[in-house]
Structure 1
Amino acid sequence: MNNQPVLEIRGVNKTIRGKKIIQDLSFEVYPGEVFGFLGPNGAGKTTLIRMIVGLMKMNKGDIVIHGQSIQKSFEGAIKHVGAIVENPEMYKFLSGQNNLVHYARMFPGGIPQSRIDEVVELVGLKNRIKEKVKTYSLGMRQRLGVAQALLHRPSLLILDEPTNGLDPAGIRELRDYLRRLAREEGIAIVVSSHLLSEMELMCDRVAIIQQGKLVDVQDLRGEGAAPKETSYFFEVNDPATAQAVVQEIDPHLHVTPHPNGIELTIGRERAADIGALLIQAGLRLYAMKPLTQSLEDKFLQITGSDQIA
């Protein structure tokens, strides 16, 4: 990962009508990663996105994009940003191509046709780009919106609820595209979504925000050294015998019995050894797997809430 952040949130605070919406929020987003926001209703996610793109002002702190403060040099900072804060609005009676041409003319100096062709290829709309937008599926419209946001070669792409209204196929299509975009183009992507399962599949890191405060950042990449010990579940035909075998091997090892197996907190190599010993003892070992929390489990544990937005 590039060591220089594309986006820096520095001690940001926002109060609306006496209510603290964002409180001392700080984190960084780097090139080539997909970074997600999660939080209960009213946590402040959309408020933060609106402040990043300049639609709202902060009361305290700073937001820095490519080393430039949006307060001191807004134009210099925002030129690096592409964003879809609401659903992408397109002229449905025009083709996808003409929508992009129309949008490209708004930029000072314009955007060449070669760049339009490049982003169309990038989002996978080459075969449909000359058809009218009214014939597009929601997933295709979302991709056209992303193409529009990418025309000026931003290094930071911000998407607020990009999967809204999409069917499962469209959600997967957009997810795979965003991950490829981050990897191949090195763009930093910031996503807000209420779909925890999709965030888990899409994002490299996820910031969990509660009552305007950053309560945790979950790294979902699985990079680096594995933990020395983790919980493993051994699914066997005779849990009681399996427990006895393990306690004979090591009386100090804590065994948690289950109806169809046993659970142990041990290292990876030790887990493999115990699996082999259970088989040698004549037991049928159907499965041996590490027990890891889902993002949803972590979210509910951290926030104590089931209200996600």
Structure 2
Amino acid sequence: MSIRSYLLFSIYRFEYWMQKINKKGAAYMLALQDVTKKYGNQVALDEVNINIKEGEIVGLVGPNGSGKTTLMKILNGLIVNYEGEVVRNESIGALIESPKYFEHKSGLYNLKYFNDLFGTKQDVGKLLEQLNMDHYKKKSVKKYSMGMKQRLGIALALTAQPEYLILDEPTNGMDPSGVREVLRYLRRIAERNNIGMLISSHILSDIESLCDKVYLIHNGKIKKEHRPLVGFAVEDKDIGKIEHILLDMQDASITDNGIVKVPKSESKKVSQLFDEHGIEIKQIEEKSVSLEEMYFDMVEEDYK
């Protein structure tokens, strides 16, 4: 299939998919609600529920064949025949499997082409610079390494100035320094531009360090949710005062020995609140079970 035909087909699928979207106001702007997908008698996804908020980075991990790519394709509208509902109120950019490029053209040409196609005014040169591709932008894509093509794919996903990103193994083929560089970039744009993200990877340590929460999927089912917690040991033992400060944080809790536990994603906000109210923090530490432990527990449970 030519790139032009592929694009036209994608637009047709997108328009069909939009008719299935639930646009009622939702607390989460990107979600799957009781979604099931079957291929004949094989169940690829089984009543899956996930949600992503603006500015939130969500991880998706599981063994090969667990349903990760199917889930991402449904969220992005590449699969439209399923049971359940998709909630999506904003635009999505995606890097799923291998994107189609004009291989004999430069990376810069490819981004400009899709920028014009989407009708956006994204500064594609700046995008390439931010992803450390400035020296490669005029080279033909066929000469790119796998890691460089992944960077180009991330840039391509951002050309439409999306509110959400879906990235399937975005650091595949990159060396350790490249992985760190790209993960820092993703965290930065999530915070600055309030972009929600769903990211899959087999590198559990990368997902754990980057994500605000992680869904663990196996055999088409969401088995567990990992939400890293941060514990604050504080000088002030006035529990009522601390509870009042954290009143708007639904997931915050205080232990019997006065340790304040909050989701990792809220830790900066909590530090600022404590500072504003003159509460001295004695110690900050991670309080959750490691993602690696949860992952292998999940896999081993299915073999018992």
TM-score, scaled relative to structure 2: 0.67
State the alpha-carbon separation in 1 of the partners of residues 287 and 156 from structure 2: 42
- CA distance, structure 2, for counterparts of residue 176 and residue 155 of structure 1: 18
Quote how far apart the aligned CAs of 1:40 are.
2.5
Match of 2:57 in 1: 34
What CA distance in whole angstroms lies between the structure 2 residues aligned with 1:105 and 1:111? 7
Q: 1:306 offset after TM fit, Å?
A: 10
Q: Are the aligned partners of 2:228 and 2:288 in contact in 1 as well (CA < 8 Å)?
A: no
Native 8 Å contact 1:139 1:171 kept in 2: no
Cα distance change of structure 1 residues 126 and 6 upon mapping to structure 2, 3 Å threshold: farther
**Structure 2, unpaired ranges of 5+:** 1-25, 232-250, 261-284
Q: How does 1:136-285 map to 2 (within 5 A)?
A: 136-220=144-228, 222=230, 225=252, 228=255
CA shift, 1:61, in A, is 0.4
Cα shift readout 1:237-269 (whole Å, capped 9, x = no counterpart) = xxxxxxxxxxxxxxxxxxxxxxxxxxxxx8769
Shift, 1:191, TM fit: 0.8
The aligned counterpart of 1:296 is: 292
What displacement does 1:228 show? 2.7
SS of alignment partner, residue 216 of structure 1: strand
1:122 is displaced (CA, Å) by 4.1
Aligned length: 235
The reply on whether 1:129 has 2:137 as its aligned counterpart is yes
Matched, 1:61 2:84: yes
Structure 1 unmatched ranges of 5 or more: 67-76, 230-265, 270-288
Q: Separation in 2 of the partners of 1:211 and 1:166?
A: 28
Rg larger in 1 or in 2? 1
For residues 130-151 of structure 1, give each alpha carbon's deviation from its aligned partner in whole angstroms, at most 9, with x where no partner exists: 4444565544432222111111
Give the drift of 1:117: 3.8
Alignment partners' CA distance in 1, 2:51 and 2:66: 19
User: How well do the aligned residues superpose, as a CA RMSD in angstroms?
Assistant: 3.0
Judged with a 3 Å threshold, the aligned counterparts in structure 2 of structure 1 residues 306 and 92 are, in CA distance, closer, same or farther, namely: farther
Q: Distance in 2 between matches of 1:155 and 1:290?
A: 29
1:111 aligns with 2:120: yes
- Code of the residue aligned with 2:218 in structure 1: it is Q
Distance in 2, matches of 1:181 and 1:216, equals: 27
Instruction: Give, as a single letter, the amino acid of the residue that structure 2 aligns with 1:97.
Output: L
SS of residue in 1 equivalent to 2:123: helix
Q: 1:218 to 1:164 in 2, by over 3 A?
A: same
SS in 2 for 1:106: helix
Residue identity matched to 1:53: N
